[in-house]
Structure formats: C-alpha cells, structure tokens
C-alpha cells in the first residue's frame, strides 16, 4: 500500500469517527437501536486503523472515537448511574480494541518485514549458488577441452617430430643432388621445386612444433617491419594465382593513412594468408572476397566517436567473403586448435593467426560479412607502448 493510499484511508476513517460522533449527538436519546448501531460502528475505524497503521493507529482511532463519544455520555448522565456506567464501559472497550488490534497488527508487520528480509537473503544466496554452479560447469567444460587439446597437442608434436628427422635427411640428399645439377641443367627446375617444397614442409612442421610448445619462433624475418597496407598488398599479390584460378571477384579498398603503422611483416602476412586462404575455400569458384584496410579514424576526426572510445586507434583490416559463413554455434570453436570442417584441414590456421596477431598486440575476431558469408576483423593498434604477450614494446612503431 503506497503512502498516498494510506493518507486517504486515514482521512476517511477520521471522517467516519466525526460522522458517528455527530450522529450520536443529533439522534434523540430514546432511539436506543440507532445509538447501539452507532456504537458498534465505532469499532470499525478503530479495527481498520489498527490493522493498517499498527499500534499507534489503533490507539489514535480509539482515542478520537472516545472523544467523539463523550457528548453522548453526557446525555446519559441524567438517566442514572446504571445507564451511565454501561456507556462509559464502551470507552474502555474502544481503547482495549485499539490496543489489541494495533499490537497484533504491529507484530505481524514486524514478522512480514523479517520474512521479506529472509526471502531477499535467500534469493541472493540462490543467485550466488546459481552463478557458482555455472562457473563450475564452465571450468569443468574448459578442463575437459584442455585435456582433449593437450592430448591432441602431444600427438601432433610427436608426429611433427617424427616427420622432422626424415625430412632433414631428405633435405641433405636434395642439397647433394642440387650440387650435381647446376643452374642451366634441364633437371635444375625440378631440384629447385624439390628444395622449396622441402623448406615449406619444414616450416609447417616447425609451426606445429612451435604451436605445441606454446611459443612463436622469433627469427630474423619476423622483425622485418613494414607498413600494414604494404603487407596487405603483398599478400594479395602472392595469392593472385589462386584468385584467378577460382575466378574470384576481389573487391579491395586499401588506405595507407597519413601516419602508416608498421608491423612485423611475417606475422601479419601469415595471418592474412590464413584468413584469405579460408575465404577462397569458402567463397569457391566465381565467389566474391572483399578486403577493406584502413587506419582507424582518431577521436579528433571521427564522426561517430563511439567507434573508437575505450580502445587505442590503429589500423583495421576487414576480410569478408560470399561463402556459406560460420554457424553461430561455431563462432568460438573456429579459433580453437584442431577445429576443422575441411577434409584436408589441420584446424590450426585460425588459432595460429590469433596467437600471431596477439603477439603483435592486435586482435582478430569474427564480424559481419556484408557479402553473405564470413567476416573477419583484424585490428592492429599503433600505440608504441602496446605491451603484447611475449613481445617487446618496440614491435609496433610509426613511420613519419
Ligand atoms: P582449417 O582451414 O585447416 O580448417 P582453420 O583454423 O583455418 O583451419 O579454420 C577452422 C575452420 O573454420 C574451418 O575448417 C572452417 O570450418 C571455418 N572457417 C574458417 N574461415 C572460414 C570462412 N571464411 N568461411 C566459412 N568457414 C570458415
């Protein structure tokens, strides 16, 4: 019951007491039946007042009912002590009724308050229990997924290790053959192919081993810094034969920006390569791929400031394709190692890409495509003080 409603009831009950007092006063004394009725009606405001306003409400209405009853008492003065004391006892009953109803109602109100407090505490405990159960389930799920991954990692690591040794022998043999087949020889081309494929295979094996060891190999090429848009253009050039082979319509929008951000070319190049190769697979023949690469607009020149608020400005690369897209329930899984939907996939492309991009302080995530398929958003911050995982602060810097 709200405050306004309580106020209205209080006024109504007070008015009722006044009306009953007036009726007592104006009704001639010989109308015994009417006076008895008014007297009984007098309990009505006292009881309701006690129930709604507690002890003080009950006593208040009992007292004003007594006061309203006083003129009537005066009228019985003349009818002898018996009638007078009978009327006087009514006052006492009014007070007792107000006190008893008020006490009971106050006690109930206190109990109600206590139970409400208890029920609030219970609901907080229930919510906490619910949250803790959910966390426990998540941890359990993560634990079993980690166990699975660790097993897969061990298998992959031992497999990669097994491949590495015979590969070293094949490489040695190829080097000897290369000495026998000088430049200009009609078999020279085959030896070159053999050596380049061996080195590619070796790189893949190293990649799996690095991944399983949980670290990225930091060779000299990784510290070769280049502006982001140059890396994007180089990767697109490298993949040109694939685009042509699948007759893929390539839509590009590449902006260098005023203050080009430079980044380790090998890392970003590898990430773009993985994402674009997936996009080619997904888009298929005659599909479409769009690459939008541009610097983030800084707060100073930004129309919609909400876009960069709370994050450092940098460079954004958006890759989208017209393929079937990634189902909602696989949005997290695609970044997990060894998750693949391809017959010949390793499921390492996106997880390695995430590690690589994080190692240079950036992020990679799924985004809307605009072409109907999957969309990937790669962000590279251009803060000098980016403290990326396992990387020195000077991995990203400006070129003036
Ligand atoms: P792989 O390519 O070896 O399967 P990835 O980690 O690169 O490993 O990709 C994991 C999975 O994510 C793919 O098998 C595919 O199901 C899904 N995926 C990645 N890119 C796309 C894309 N552009 N469109 C649809 N699915 C994709």
Q: 6-62, pLDDT tens digit by residue?
A: 999 999 999 999 999 899 888 887 888 888 898 899 999 999 999 999 999 999 999
326 within ligand 1 shell (Cβ under 6 A): yes
Q: What is the DSSP string of 330-371?
A: GTTGGGSTT---STT--S-HHHHHHHHHHHTT-EEEEE--SS
Residue predicted with more confidence, 294 or 88: 294
Q: Is the pLDDT of residue 187 over 90?
A: no
Nearest-angstrom CA–CA distance, 44 and 58: 11
Structure confidence at residue 148 as a pLDDT band (50, 70, 90) = low
Ligand 1 atom closest to the CA of 275, numbered from 1: 20
Percent of the chain with pLDDT over 70: 84
58 within ligand 1 shell (Cβ under 6 A): no
Confidence (pLDDT) at 393: 35
Q: Is the pLDDT of residue 174 over 50?
A: yes
Give the distance (Å) from ligand 1 centre to CA of residue 278: 6
The residues near 350 (Cβ < 8 Å, ≥ 6 apart) are: 274, 275, 278, 334, 335, 364
For the stretch 105-142, pLDDT in tens is: 999 999 999 999 999 999 999 999 998 888 888 888 77
Ligand 1 atom closest to the CA of 373, numbered from 1: 24
Q: Give residue 75's Cα distance to chain centre.
A: 78
The residues near 73 (Cβ < 8 Å, ≥ 6 apart) are: 84, 87, 88, 91
261 within ligand 1 shell (Cβ under 6 A): no
Instruction: Single out the residue of 380, 365, 264, 361 nearest to residue 313, CA to CA.
Output: 380
Hey, what domains does the chain have and what are their CATH numbers?
3-124 (no CATH), 223-389 (3.30.565.10)
Q: Is the pLDDT of residue 73 over 80?
A: no
Nearest-angstrom CA–CA distance, 191 and 196: 9
Confidence (pLDDT) at 389: 41
Structure confidence at residue 398 as a pLDDT band (50, 70, 90) = very low
Whose alpha carbon is nearest atom 11 of ligand 1?
Answer: 340
Instruction: Among 319, 336, 350, name the best residue to mutate to test ligand 1's pocket (greatest count of ligand atoms within 8 A of Cβ).
Output: 350
Give the distance (Å) from ligand 1 centre to CA of residue 347: 7
Instruction: Locate 244 and state its tokens.
Output: 């042509």
Residue predicted with more confidence, 310 or 281: 281
Confidence (pLDDT) at 145: 67
Mean pLDDT of 268-282: 92
Mean pLDDT of 145-168: 75
Contact 384, 391 (CB under 8 A): no
Mean pLDDT of 57-79: 83
Mean pLDDT of the chain: 82
For the stretch 349-383, pLDDT in tens is: 898 889 889 888 899 999 988 899 999 999 998 75
334 within ligand 1 shell (Cβ under 6 A): yes
Mean pLDDT of 288-311: 64
Instruction: Among 272, 277, 278, name the best residue to mutate to test ligand 1's pocket (greatest count of ligand atoms within 8 A of Cβ).
Output: 278
Confidence (pLDDT) at 280: 95
Give the distance (Å) from ligand 1 centre to CA of residue 335: 9
331 within ligand 1 shell (Cβ under 6 A): no
319 within ligand 1 shell (Cβ under 6 A): no
Confidence (pLDDT) at 177: 86
Question: pTM of the full predicted structure?
Answer: 0.51
Residue predicted with more confidence, 186 or 284: 284
Contact 357, 367 (CB under 8 A): no
Confidence (pLDDT) at 57: 92
The residues near 171 (Cβ < 8 Å, ≥ 6 apart) are: 195, 198, 199, 202
374 within ligand 1 shell (Cβ under 6 A): yes
Give the distance (Å) from ligand 1 centre to CA of residue 330: 10
Contact 379, 314 (CB under 8 A): yes
């Amino acid at each position: 019951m709200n405050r306004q409603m309580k106020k209205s009831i209080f006024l109504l009950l007070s008015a009722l007491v006044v009306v009953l007092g007036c009726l007592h006063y104006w009704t001639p004394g010989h109308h015994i039946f009417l006076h008895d009725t008014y007297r009984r009606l007098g309990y009505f405001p006292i009881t309701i007042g006690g129930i709604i306003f507690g002890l003080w409400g009950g006593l208040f209405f009992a007292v004003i009912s007594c006061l309203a009853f006083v003129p009537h008492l005066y009228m019985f003065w003349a009818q002898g002590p018996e009638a007078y004391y009978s009327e006087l006892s009514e006052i006492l009953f009014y007070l007792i009724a107000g006190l008893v109803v008020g006490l009971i109602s106050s006690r109930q109100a206190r109990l109600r308050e206590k139970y409400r407090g208890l029920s609030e505490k219970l609901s907080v405990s229930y919510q906490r229990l619910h949250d803790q159960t959910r966390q426990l389930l998540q941890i359990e799920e993560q634990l079993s997924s980690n166990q699975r991954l660790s097993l897969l990692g061990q298998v992959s690591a031992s497999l990669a290790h097994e491949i590495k040794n015979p590969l070293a022998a094949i490489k040695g043999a190829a080097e000897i053959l290369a000495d026998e087949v000088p430049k200009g020889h009609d078999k020279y081309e085959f030896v070159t192919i053999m050596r380049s494929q061996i080195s590619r295979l070796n790189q893949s094996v190293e990649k799996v081993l690095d991944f399983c060891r949980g670290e990225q190999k930091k060779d000299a090429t990784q510290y070769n810094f280049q502006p982001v848009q140059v890396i994007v253009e180089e990767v697109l050039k490298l993949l040109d034969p694939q685009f042509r082979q699948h007759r893929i319509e390539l839509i590009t929008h590449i902006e260098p920006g005023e203050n080009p951000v430079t980044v380790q070319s090998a890392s970003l190049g590898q990430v773009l390569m993985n994402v674009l190769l997936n996009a080619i697979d997904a888009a298929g023949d005659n599909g479409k791929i769009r690459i939008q690469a541009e610097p983030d607009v800084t707060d100073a020149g930004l129309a919609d400031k909400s876009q960069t608020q709370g994050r450092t400005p940098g460079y954004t690369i958006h890759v989208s394709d017209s393929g079937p897209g990634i189902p909602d329930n696989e949005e997290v899984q695609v970044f997990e190692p060894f998750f693949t939907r391809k017959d010949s996939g390793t499921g390492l492309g996106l997880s390695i890409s995430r590690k690589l991009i994080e190692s240079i302080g950036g992020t990679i995530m799924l985004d809307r495509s605009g072409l109907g398929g999957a969309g990937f958003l790669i962000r590279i911050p251009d803060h000098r003080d980016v403290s990326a995982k396992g990387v020195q602060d000077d991995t990203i810097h400006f070129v003036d």
